[in-house]
Amino acid sequence: MNSYIDIGFHAATSLALGYLVWRIFGINDRRNLLISLFFTFLGGLLIDVDHFLDHFLSFGLNFNYEYFISGEYFMMSNKAYIIFHAVEYVIILGLIYFFLKDQKRKMIFASLALGVLAHLLIDIFLVPNPIKGYFIIYRILNGFNVDMSQGIFE
C-alpha cells in the first residue's frame, strides 16, 4: 500500500510542477505543456526504473513483485545502486539551465531538474535514510554498500 502512496505523491508533484514550469515560461501552447509534463514525469516518476536494476542484480530475471515493492533486494545484496537517484544530477541540470539561452530548452531543463529534485525530496521525506545516501558520489565512495540496521544507507 505504501508504494501506491509513494507513486501517487511522485505523480501528483510531477503533474503540478509540469504545469507550473509551463506557466512560468509562458510558452502558452498545449504542445509545450506536454513537453514540460513529459520531463517532470521523467525526472519525478520514471527515475524509479533504476530499482529494476537493483532487483535484477539480486534476483536476476526472477521478478518478484512483493520483493520489488518491499526493497528486498537491498537486504539481499547489501548494495544500493539506484543510479538515477542522485542530488548531483539536480545540480548538473541546474548548471546547464543557467547556461542555456533558448527558452524552450530552459523549460525542458527546469522541468527535468525540478522533477528529480521533487522526487528526491519525497523519497527523503517518506523513507528515513540519511540524506548523504542520496548523493551518488557518497554511494560510489562507499562501494554502494548499505547497512539495513541503520536505514538503507550506511
Closest CA to 90 of 115, 108, 124: 115
d(CA 154, CA 147): 5
For the record, the C-alpha cell of 103 comes out as 527558452
Question: What does residue 123 show for φ and ψ, rounded to 5 degrees?
Answer: -60, -45
**Site for Zn ion contains 123 (CB under 5 A):** yes
To Zn ion, the closest distance from the beta carbon of 34 in angstroms equals 23
Q: DSSP readout, 53-107?
A: HHHHHHHTT---HHHHHHTHHHHHHSB---TT--HHHHHHHHHHHHH---HHHHH
Tell me whether residue 22 or residue 73 sits nearer to Zn ion (CB atom): 73
Binding letters toward Zn ion, positions 55-94, x by CB under 5 A: ----------------------------------------
* Residues that contact Zn ion, how many (by CB under 5 A): 2
Tell me whether residue 25 or residue 129 sits nearer to Zn ion (CB atom): 129
For the record, the C-alpha cell of 107 comes out as 523549460
Q: Which stretch binds Zn ion (CB under 5 A): 24-32, 45-53, 128-136, 145-153?
A: 45-53
Q: Which stretch binds Zn ion (CB under 5 A): 64-72, 109-117, 122-130, 131-139?
A: 122-130
Tell me whether residue 48 or residue 72 sits nearer to Zn ion (CB atom): 48
**Site for Zn ion contains 54 (CB under 5 A):** no
**Site for Zn ion contains 154 (CB under 5 A):** no
Spatial contact of 113 and 90, defined as CB atoms under 8 Å apart: yes
- The binder of Zn ion chosen from 48, 77, 83, 124 (CB under 5 A): 48
Spatial contact of 42 and 72, defined as CB atoms under 8 Å apart: no
Binding residues for Zn ion, rule: CB under 5 A, are 48, 123
